Amino acid sequence: MQNLQEWLSQPPRYTTFRVNKLKKFDCDSLNGFLKTKSKELNTSALPNFYFIKSDCLVLEQWPEEVEVKKGNKEVIVDALCAAAVLRGAHVFAPGVMGMPMNCQLGEKVDIYGDMEGQCKRGLKITFEGKKLFVGTGVLRMLRQDLFDNGVQPSGIAIETLLPVSRLPVVNETICPPGVLLLQNLPSIVCGWVLNALPNENILDMCAAPGNKTTHLGEMSNNQANIIALDKTPQKSEKIKENCIKQGVSCVNAYAFDSTKCCSLDSNNVDNGPPFPPNSFDKVLLDAPCSGLGQRPQLNNKMTPKMLESYKFVQRKLMKAAVEVLKIGGKLVYSTCTVTVEENEGMVQWALEKFPCLQLIPAEPLLGGPGLRESGLSDAQRVMVQRFSPEVDPLRLVEPIYRDSIGFFIATFTKTH
């Protein structure tokens, strides 16, 4: 367990982008951006990048010779913001907690994360609580912009130069809109597992903000019939916005509770939710979960009661997914957490609860097998994939898939 805890406290050593196959990506734009950044860091070295598949770009750390040098004025950010900096993000205004009085625009600053949530917003002096140095950056907002005008600030407060993780600070803006999308590697793998094809009827049950939804649309060459659901109008609007940005037009998004997405009184998928039983060729249930696979985790506030609550909604969603799935159809279940109860335990529960379900290999099998002593047999463990630091002889995997976020994928088919 200690190994897992240490792993979760560290960021992955690379960044992944999903490349939109419906648009044109020019590697020269990334190369040019990295060369500009190397000058800012006073180095001639460049980080390596490569493709796993045509839609998955991997960007590695800056070489070790590129050093993170601290010794500037300290800016305190909240733990969530600090974790994002370690993943290669800029500091956005809402994340800033404290800043000295005498800072200047364009000045280089040290970025520290407030590890215990003790820093009061607007701190003017040095923070004495538990803090973690996460990188250096250039100040783009002053105190009066952040704390003194009575309005919730927005925008980039600090342009991160170099995180302690040495991950390049690169985002989608280096290309035209919709060409690149920052996305965790297992989330991209999840799309490969579902493998959306033209003319298939596909349901994405918990779709917001639409990153997996748009991947499915792109994989099908914009020719699948995809329904995307999430509970609120704000979330369904976000899905629609991302589809427009990505150039995906084969998705219909609705604000709807997916636990109620099946109804015997419905007779046509085209009318929107709820849907008749046996409506979809493929269903993606990327379930709401405890999120304990996110890395790095610097300040986890999950309580046992909160942790216990997730399985109940996951089970309701699984029941609905089984009902709307066609006989012979494919159901992909995924989470971004590491608990057995939400992963292998859900697989075991589903197989016992629904005799019509059969576990099948979640191919391509790139993550490790399910955990030992989790309630699954070895034959079942090898069909699912768990992204974690575990090394299991049942299926040895490439190092990159053991240095992602914590994630789980299982695939079922409906036999009758």
204 known member of a binding site: no
Q: What are phi and psi of 79, to 5 degrees?
A: -65, -35
- Give the Cα separation of 199 and 204 in Å (integer): 15
210 known member of a binding site: yes
257 known member of a binding site: yes
- Give the Cα separation of 203 and 217 in Å (integer): 11
Beta-bridge partners for 407: 387
Q: What are phi and psi of 383, to 5 degrees?
A: -85, -25
207 known member of a binding site: yes
- Give the Cα separation of 221 and 22 in Å (integer): 7
286 known member of a binding site: yes
- Give the Cα separation of 40 and 273 in Å (integer): 52
The answer to whether the CB of 34 falls within 8 A of the CB of 47 is yes
231 known member of a binding site: no
Pairing of strands 156-163, 56-60: unpaired
Q: Give the count of beta carbons closer than 10 Å to the beta carbon of residue 308.
A: 11
Q: Catalytic residue at 336?
A: yes
For residue 85, give Cα distances in angstroms to 7, 62, 82, 130, 232.
17, 15, 5, 17, 29
110 known member of a binding site: no
In the set 103, 261, 336, 356, the catalytic residue is 336
245 known member of a binding site: no
- Give the Cα separation of 233 and 52 in Å (integer): 35
The answer to whether the CB of 129 falls within 8 A of the CB of 118 is yes
The answer to whether the CB of 221 falls within 8 A of the CB of 254 is no
- For residue 364, is the peptide bond before it cis, meaning its omega torsion is within 30 degrees of 0? yes
320 known member of a binding site: no
209 known member of a binding site: yes
Annotated binding site: 206-212, 230, 257, 286
Known catalytic residues? 336
Residues contributing to the annotated binding site for S-adenosyl-L-methionine: 206-212, 230, 257, 286
